[in-house]
Amino acid sequence: MNVRIFIKIDHFPTPSRTMRQIVVLLALLVSACAPQQRLRTEPNRLLLQSTDINNTTASQPVKSIHPSFLGFGNLTIRYADGRTEKVSKKSVWGYTDKKGRVYRYYRNTYFEVLDLDEVVRYERTRPHSPKNPRLQQFYSKTLDSKLFNSRKKALRDLATL
């Protein structure tokens, strides 16, 4: 009498399935740990409007931007050719630094624009203590709208529609 016994084992995955799971898990880990690409544009420029970010026309390169004496309402712009100009803080949307990072001027503070996605993501470093600065993230619906400390609030911002 020949009796064949078949044991069905479902709880042990096949080696190929396990390998696929490991590869997918490693790929997700690597993509999560990779540094995110930040918004970059032409370096050393003064941005008078948010639309100037994508403007590729040649502009006068800026050497430095400083608040005027006592910081009342004006910025002193020093251009690469040595010329200086005073500009109202209210007329400036932002600037780009020598590495091409974009900064938005909002409520007397500069915020780095990280990326333009469903919402615009900003970052600001605040000195919490000399050795431990705090990194804060902010969001807005558009480049010209109000900044919020939560993505959800920025998405609900109806004032920009």
pLDDT band, residue 137 (cuts 50/70/90): very high
Least confident of 35-39, 128-132, 152-156: 35-39
Could you tell me the pLDDT band of residue 141, with boundaries at 50, 70 and 90?
A: very high
CB of 41 closer than 8 Å to CB of 99: no
Task: For residue 55, give the DSSP letter.
Answer: -
Name the residue with tokens 């050719």: 81
Specify the pTM. Answer: 0.68
What are the Cα distances from residue 143, in Å, to 67, 68, 139, 147? 23, 26, 10, 9
3-class DSSP state of 95: strand
pLDDT in tens, 11-20: 555 556 776 7
Question: How many CA within 13 A on the CB side of residue 43?
Answer: 7
Residue 28 has pLDDT above 60, yes or no: no
Give the pLDDT band (50/70/90) at residue 33. Answer: very low
Tell me: the pLDDT tens digits for 57-97?
A: 667 788 888 877 766 788 888 888 899 988 888 898 998 88
Strand order in the sheet with 74-79: 62-67, 74-79, 84-88
Is the pLDDT reported for residue 100 higher than 90?
no
